[in-house]
Chain A
Amino acid sequence: MTMSAVPRQVYLDNNATTSCLPDVVAEMLPFFSEQFGNPSSIHAIGAGVAPSIQAARERLQKLLGAAHDSEIVFTSGGTESDTTAIMSALRALPERREIITSAVEHHAVLSVCEYLAKHEGYKLHVIGVDGQGRLDLKAYEAALSENVALVSIMWANNETGTIFPIEHLAQMAKPFGILFHTDGVQAVGKIPLRLSNSAIDMLSLSSHKIHGPKGVGALYVKRGAKFRPLFRGGHQERGRRAGTENTAGIVGLGKAAELALAGIKDENTRVRAMRDRLEGELVARIPNSIVAGDVDQRLPNTTTIAFEFVEGEAILLMLSRAGIAASSGSACTSGSLEPSHVMRAMQIPFTAAHGATRFSLSRENSEQDVDRVIEVLPDIINRLRAMSPYWSTATGAPAAFQPAYS
């Protein structure tokens, strides 16, 4: 067997997770061995670790453009940061019984809010989006009041890359004394941030989305914002997140943050151009394909294209055999029968929603990766459409098909 039998691996699922960069791994390794100390200890073995944690905190501060390094609270990842922010706001403002979020949030926010509404009696305002995934600003404005404890709205959407006008939303919430949280997991490292002169109170981020290790993340808490910890029982992170630090993970996140800051220009020039070429070529070569999301306000690395009359999982399996990793908003990849809540909120027609395929690039991608997808995907879609009862190969157009139940 020759090496050419194995297709080159093309990884275009960076919104799911990214590779941990070799420089990041190299900085982490000593913290699994000789640098094993507990940063809380008095003795030299432990105390020697504390400055490394501090250095990571400062690197992350720079990436976020935060005013103070003490505004960073290290956590176990995006989900913990989201839960911490939501629960903190509700406990800090117990007399307020309303929450505002959006219909396209990650489940790490949406499920928590829905749980609180259902089981703890909170009134939940779920702000909808239009067909391009843009937030309904009128509905948002109408929901703001002094009864609202928390707004939690994502900076950029993981499925479509659509960017919300977060600073504007935070400014609107401020007069009501509302705590404003944003899930920045997809935005951090891809768009320049300056939280020092922002109205945002809290921001969640995750290390493994920016080429750092998994299992670590951070919550930015603006100095002066009311905060109640989720975990108690230790003085770590200035009493805001108890538990011995994930030292290796935090050091890795710090290095990843430094590299992300250095790479933001590349992300918004070269990566953006690759994404645009991929999207343009695919839409030109494949009829009945629709780009989902707000193409004018979008992360530079993400494109979601809905291919009508084919199903996403089938596309992903065929791409995977060609060595290409992508993702889908399709139901079948999650085991449920409905397309993703994001596609539904945008009211993408069912004919297309099931075939929504997401390509998310990173600084690690090259033009050859884009070429490979352009080379193989049109044939994959043709093959699947030839098998689909909703598509007529003869006319190259949708077919009339009315099955027994719907």
Chain B
Amino acid sequence: MWNYSEKVQQHFFNPSNSGVLEDANGVGEVGSISCGDALKLFLKIDPASEIITDARFQTFGCGSAIASSSALTEIIIGKSIEQALRVTNQDIADYLDGLPPEKMHCSVMGAEALRAAIANYRGEVWADDDHEEGALICKCFGIDAGMIERAVRVNKLTSVDEVTNFTKAGGACKTCHEKIEEVLGQVLTVMAAEGVIDTVPAPSCPVAPSAPIHKPMTNLRKIQMITAAIEDLRPTLQRDGGDIELVDIDGDTVMVTLRGSCVGCQMSSVTLSGVQERLMSVLGKPVRVIPAEAA
């Protein structure tokens, strides 16, 4: 099953701040029983300082949903609501030493409940505008069917390559190309029926054959291959306003710097693991990709 971190297990088996907060003045409720997870977050906010003095949660959901709720309350107690609103789902995941890609939606639910509770405190109506949906398609980059559908619709994409360029889905280990093709086919069929596009183009899926490695790789060859693979990835990241630079290679450790909008991006750790997958598939051997500043 899942490889939950020690932190996730700790917060699941012994959650902090679970239960009802009777004198809460901000309550956020998100999720539903049909989705399989739901979270009710209670906040006690000091009206003078707008500091969250206490928080409690009730969660219906899996191990990581309960752990994310527990982590969320620990993160936000003592923060002002302005500071709390800057807490992202990635902060929750990081606090738990990471979540499996399939479980990132649990941290999203935590971040949404926080916003809903603060909106409730302020007397506002909270509207969920970016609820993740659909089956997880690309495990390397954590891209779900909903995200692919939106990219296809907005940009009228017609090939797997284009989907990869716009969403990064399928850009690393390449094992999800059949699934991407399927989502693409469905969306295009619907779009054709709606009259948004004329005909359904046959999805094409050109997969570059990776060079078989017969003899031991020289250091020079390895550096060339890593450099070329990083160069290949840059246009994808640049399209999102980001960039990546190769800093150094030490044995099997590849040090890179993320630039542009990748800096501080919630998905940067996912991006790095995607780069790692890509390098491993190009080199045919394990490597570790780390941010240069961590080295």
Chain A: CB-nearest residue to B139: A335
B29 and A387 form a contact (CB under 8 A): no
Q: Which residues of B contact A406 (CB under 8 A)?
A: 32, 34-35
Q: Which residues of A contact B131 (CB under 8 A)?
A: 405
B63 and A404 form a contact (CB under 8 A): no
Is A19 among interface residues, defined by CB-CB distance under 8 A? no
Is A313 among interface residues, defined by CB-CB distance under 8 A? yes
Chain A: CB-nearest residue to B112: A404
B30 and A317 form a contact (CB under 8 A): no
Is B19 among interface residues, defined by CB-CB distance under 8 A? yes
B62 and A321 form a contact (CB under 8 A): no
Chain A: CB-nearest residue to B32: A406
Q: Which residues of A contact B100 (CB under 8 A)?
A: 335
- A387-B18, A388-B59, A389-B59 are known contacts. Are A333 and B1 too (CB-CB below 8 A)? yes
Is A332 among interface residues, defined by CB-CB distance under 8 A? yes
CB under 8 Å from chain A, chain B span 1-24: 1, 9, 12-13, 15, 18-19
A402 to B29, CA, bound (A): 8
CB under 8 Å from chain A, chain B span 55-85: 58-63, 65-66
Binary flags per residue of B223-245, CB closer than 8 Å to A gives 1, else 0: 00000000000000000000000
Binary flags per residue of B205-222, CB closer than 8 Å to A gives 1, else 0: 000000000000000000
B62 and A330 form a contact (CB under 8 A): yes
Is A224 among interface residues, defined by CB-CB distance under 8 A? no
Is B195 among interface residues, defined by CB-CB distance under 8 A? no
A332 and B30 form a contact (CB under 8 A): no
A309 and B60 form a contact (CB under 8 A): yes
Q: Which residues of A contact B62 (CB under 8 A)?
A: 311-314, 330, 332-333
B126 partner, pick from A318, A339, A390, A404, beta carbons under 8 A: A404
A309 to B63, CA, bound (A): 15
Interface size on A, residues (CB 8 A): 33
Interface size on B, residues (CB 8 A): 38
Is A386 among interface residues, defined by CB-CB distance under 8 A? yes
A311 and B37 form a contact (CB under 8 A): yes
Least CB distance from A346 to B in Å reads: 15
Q: Which residues of A contact B274 (CB under 8 A)?
A: none
A387 and B15 form a contact (CB under 8 A): yes
CB under 8 Å from chain B, chain A span 321-367: 321, 330-333, 335-339, 350-351, 354
Is B52 among interface residues, defined by CB-CB distance under 8 A? no
A404 to B37, CA, bound (A): 13
A386 and B136 form a contact (CB under 8 A): no
A331 and B36 form a contact (CB under 8 A): yes
B34 partner, pick from A310, A321, A350, beta carbons under 8 A: A350
A333 to B31, CA, bound (A): 18
Is B39 among interface residues, defined by CB-CB distance under 8 A? yes
A317 and B29 form a contact (CB under 8 A): no
A81 to B135, CA, bound (A): 28
A389 and B58 form a contact (CB under 8 A): yes
B13 partner, pick from A310, A321, A331, A386, beta carbons under 8 A: A321
Least CB distance from A251 to B in Å reads: 31
A388 and B60 form a contact (CB under 8 A): yes
Most chain A CB atoms below 10 A, which of B9, B63, B66: B63
Least CB distance from B126 to A in Å reads: 6
Is B194 among interface residues, defined by CB-CB distance under 8 A? no
A311 and B34 form a contact (CB under 8 A): no
A134 to B15, CA, bound (A): 41
Chain B: CB-nearest residue to A309: B60
- A333-B1, A404-B116, A404-B126 are known contacts. Are A354 and B33 too (CB-CB below 8 A)? yes
Least CB distance from A255 to B in Å reads: 30
CB under 8 Å from chain A, chain B span 112-167: 116, 126, 128, 131, 135-136
Q: Which residues of B contact A335 (CB under 8 A)?
A: 100, 102-103, 136
- A405-B128, A406-B32 are known contacts. Are A313 and B63 too (CB-CB below 8 A)? yes
Q: Which residues of B contact A336 (CB under 8 A)?
A: 135
A316 to B63, CA, bound (A): 9
A406 to B33, CA, bound (A): 8
A317 to B100, CA, bound (A): 15
Is B272 among interface residues, defined by CB-CB distance under 8 A? no
Chain B: CB-nearest residue to A308: B33
A404 and B29 form a contact (CB under 8 A): yes
A193 to B43, CA, bound (A): 61
A42 to B172, CA, bound (A): 49
Is B168 among interface residues, defined by CB-CB distance under 8 A? no
Chain A: CB-nearest residue to B144: A337
Least CB distance from B138 to A in Å reads: 13
A333 to B61, CA, bound (A): 11
A314 to B11, CA, bound (A): 12
A322 to B30, CA, bound (A): 31
A351 to B38, CA, bound (A): 12
B33 partner, pick from A312, A330, A332, A351, beta carbons under 8 A: A351
Is B177 among interface residues, defined by CB-CB distance under 8 A? no
A317 and B102 form a contact (CB under 8 A): no
A389 and B38 form a contact (CB under 8 A): yes
Is A403 among interface residues, defined by CB-CB distance under 8 A? yes
A331 to B33, CA, bound (A): 12
Q: Which residues of B contact A403 (CB under 8 A)?
A: 29-32, 38-40
Least CB distance from A282 to B in Å reads: 20
A-B contact pairs, 26 of them (CB 8 A): A309-B33, A312-B62, A313-B63, A314-B62, A314-B63, A317-B13, A332-B36, A332-B37, A335-B102, A337-B35, A337-B36, A338-B36, A354-B60, A387-B15, A387-B18, A387-B58, A387-B59, A387-B60, A389-B58, A390-B33, A403-B31, A403-B39, A404-B29, A405-B128, A405-B131, A406-B34
Q: Which 10 residue pairs across A and B have the least CB separation, nearest first? A: A335-B102, A332-B62, A406-B32, A313-B62, A389-B58, A403-B29, A389-B40, A350-B34, A388-B60, A331-B36
Q: A316-B1, A403-B32 are in contact. List 18 more A-B contacts (CB 8 A).
A: A311-B65, A313-B62, A317-B12, A317-B13, A330-B36, A332-B62, A332-B63, A338-B36, A354-B36, A387-B15, A387-B58, A389-B40, A401-B29, A403-B30, A403-B31, A403-B38, A405-B30, A405-B131
Q: Which residues of B pack against A, CB within 8 Å?
A: 1, 9, 12-13, 15, 18-19, 28-40, 58-63, 65-66, 100, 102-103, 105, 116, 126, 128, 131, 135-136
